[in-house]
Amino acid sequence: MTLEYKKPTVENIPDDELFFGHKACAGCGGSLAVRAALKVLGPHAVCALPAGCMSAVGFNFPQLSFANNAMITPFAATAAVAAGIEAGLRAQGKKPDDCTVVGIAGDGGTADIGIQALSGAIDRNDDILYICYDNEAYMNTGIQKSSLTPFGASTTTTPAGGNVHGCVTQKKNLFEVVAAHGIPYAATASIGYLPDFMNKVARAASIKGTKYIHVIAPCPTGWGCAVDETVELAKEIVDCGLWYLAEYEGPSVANAASDKTAAGAGAVRSSSEGVAYPNGRFVINRDPREFASVEAYLRRQGRFRSLTDEEIAQVERQRDLKWRALRDVAGR
């Protein structure tokens, strides 16, 4: 089920702040993602956050940083707790129409520790929104590798040395994992393209059932960049093709919307065609004609300082393969 929603604009976004006074590091991308999302969702939103950066910086009693209702969950249970909150509010008749229950977790708390709870919520089609702010490592506990850490990134558990130059595995494609469940709505975003992210939050809030948004949110501390480069890097990762902006509508939404979808026209594919988007619609929101320099993006960050020219060329080849697959699924 999809309700009408208003696209966020400069004119209709409220001035009220619902996430402020926190203790995040300077230039924190995750805090910007939470701030922007709550501006869209409004004061009746209820947040569930696991142990992680945003709960660590937002729940420093007595200086609580959430103006709306929010609670900390066990690390593995963000989606399960959010689902329980939604069911409890609904059972008591205390869930207004503009109330979105939203789980907000980092990449480790989503792709690793919390993936089973997220998968279960999607399977039950619980009426929640789940936002993963992806800074590509366990930043709160000391910059350890997660399964969303990209190839070549140096972390405290994948240190760059003389023989191995950082993380040796590829970043898990969690968006495709989620879409493969047939979720009603999933999207990728970046704080470098904030209007796109906020529009996707508004669209997700208008859809009944489980929704997932995966937003890139750089961490200057873990990425080894200047604190005033956060938004630039979040834009550059999209422009150079190492991240993409896209939407997936599951069968319930794609079939109901038919050709009238906020995302625009996209290819409808069945699971029998061997793609990760079963019976739904996949749309690329931004498809660069030419990619910006991958090397320039990587060289700006201390975490990639040990990569060789050949390893950077390997990153580019992986990008090209990924985009070939994305465009094929999108029918381009």
The tens digit of pLDDT for each residue in 223-272 reads: 999 999 999 999 999 999 999 999 999 998 987 765 454 444 444 343 33
Give yes or no for residue 273 having a pLDDT over 70: no
Q: Which of 212, 211, 230 is nearest to 220 (CA)?
A: 230
Mean pLDDT of 294-304: 98
**Structure confidence by residue, pLDDT tens digits, 58-100:** 998 888 899 999 999 999 999 999 999 999 999 999 999 999 9
3-state secondary structure (DSSP) of residue 52: coil
Domain that holds residue 252: 29-329
Mean pLDDT of 133-158: 97
> What b/e sequence results for 129-166 when a residue is b if at least 16 CB atoms lie within 10 Å of its CB, and e otherwise?
bbbbbbbbbbbbeebbbbebbbbbbbbeebebeeeebb
Write down the pLDDT at residue 15. Answer: 87
The Cα 110–Cα 108 span in angstroms is: 5
Mean pLDDT of 157-164: 94
What's the whole-number average pLDDT of the chain?
91
**Number of domains forming the structure of the chain:** 1
Query: Are the CB atoms for 81 and 103 separated by under 8 Å?
Result: yes
Asked, for residue 13, whether it belongs to a domain, the answer is no
Q: Give ∠ CA 21-218-314 in degrees, rounded to 5.
A: 175
Write down the pLDDT at residue 3. Answer: 60
Asked, for residue 190, whether it belongs to a domain, the answer is yes
3-state secondary structure (DSSP) of residue 287: coil
Q: DSSP characters for 234-265?
A: HHHHHHTTSS--EEEE-HHHHHHHTT--TT--
In the block, tokens 């080894």 appear at 224
Q: For the whole model, what pTM was predicted?
A: 0.93
The CATH number of whichever domain residue 253 belongs to comes to 3.40.50.970
What is the band of 134 on the pLDDT scale with cuts at 50, 70, 90?
A: very high
Which residues of the chain form beta strands (DSSP E)?
46-50, 59-60, 63-64, 69-73, 101-106, 129-134, 185-190, 211-216, 246-249, 267-269, 280-284
Mean pLDDT of 103-107: 98
With pLDDT > 90 as the criterion, what percentage of the chain qualifies? 82
What is the band of 4 on the pLDDT scale with cuts at 50, 70, 90?
A: low
Write down the pLDDT at residue 265. Answer: 42
Mean pLDDT of 95-117: 97
Asked, for residue 207, whether it belongs to a domain, the answer is yes
Write down the pLDDT at residue 62. Answer: 83
Asked, for residue 292, whether it belongs to a domain, the answer is yes
Write down the pLDDT at residue 7. Answer: 81
Mean pLDDT of 181-206: 97
Of residues 275 and 288, the one with the higher pLDDT is 288
Asked, for residue 3, whether it belongs to a domain, the answer is no
Q: What would the two tokens of residue 294 be?
A: 């991958």
Give yes or no for residue 177 having a pLDDT over 80: yes
Write down the pLDDT at residue 255. Answer: 78
Mean pLDDT of 19-45: 96
Asked, for residue 118, whether it belongs to a domain, the answer is yes
The Cα 218–Cα 103 span in angstroms is: 19
The Cα 273–Cα 253 span in angstroms is: 20
Of residues 312 and 256, the one with the higher pLDDT is 312
Q: Strands 280-284 and 267-269: what pairing?
A: antiparallel
Mean pLDDT of 167-175: 97
